[in-house]
């Protein structure tokens, strides 16, 4: 199954939990086996879903797939450059309140990995300046505070 097919199947609202789980496992396996190349292809395949402005559920699912892959691969599978790009992407998505839980979750996964102090500082700045945690629902607010504690 190609990255395009994985992204399409995972983000399809008609896909059940078993299909999404299988897609996640295949994506994790590809990144473990191939490293950054497979992750790059997956991000490119998720591009439309990650950036759609009209389909919140599609954005949420795309972020969930990306979060699952980042969380499921060993830190050595992600280069310093890949980590930096992912941190910048998630940091820029902090204003996406409908997807806040997934964005904050992704940042939380990333700051547990070996990211630079500058990256951590940029996440802290974005969290305190770009994300109004007080306006988030309680689960998202908890995710924001958990991220702040992790930093």
- Dihedral through CA 69, CA 75, CA 79, CA 82, nearest 10? 40
Which of 69, 103, 72 shows the shortest CA–CA distance to 87?
Answer: 103
pLDDT at 140 over 90: no
pLDDT at 101 over 80: yes
Query: Where are the alpha helices (H) located in 12-99, listed in sequence order?
Result: 17-34, 36-51, 56-72, 80-92
- How does pLDDT run across 4-31, given as a tens digit for each residue? 887 888 888 788 889 888 889 999 998 8
Return the number of other C-beta atoms located less than 10 Å from residue 91's C-beta. Answer: 21
pLDDT over 70 for what percent of the chain?
100
Q: Model's pTM, two decimal places?
A: 0.89
pLDDT computed for residue 7 by the predictor:
84
């Amino acid at each position: 199954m190609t990255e395009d097919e994985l992204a399409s199947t995972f983000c399809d609202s008609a896909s059940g939990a078993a299909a999404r789980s299988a897609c996640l496992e295949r994506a994790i396996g590809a990144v473990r086996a191939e490293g950054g190349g497979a992750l790059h292809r997956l991000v490119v395949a998720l591009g439309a879903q990650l950036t759609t402005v009209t389909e919140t559920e599609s954005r949420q699912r795309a972020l969930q797939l990306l979060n699952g892959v980042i969380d499921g691969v060993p830190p050595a599978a992600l280069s310093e450059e890949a980590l930096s790009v992912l941190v910048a992407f998630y940091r820029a998505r902090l204003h996406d309140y409908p997807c806040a839980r997934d964005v904050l979750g992704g940042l939380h996964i990333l700051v547990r990995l070996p990211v630079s102090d500058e990256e951590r500082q940029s996440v802290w700045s974005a969290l305190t300046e770009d994300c109004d945690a007080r306006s988030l629902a309680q689960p998202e607010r908890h995710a924001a505070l958990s991220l702040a504690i992790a930093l």
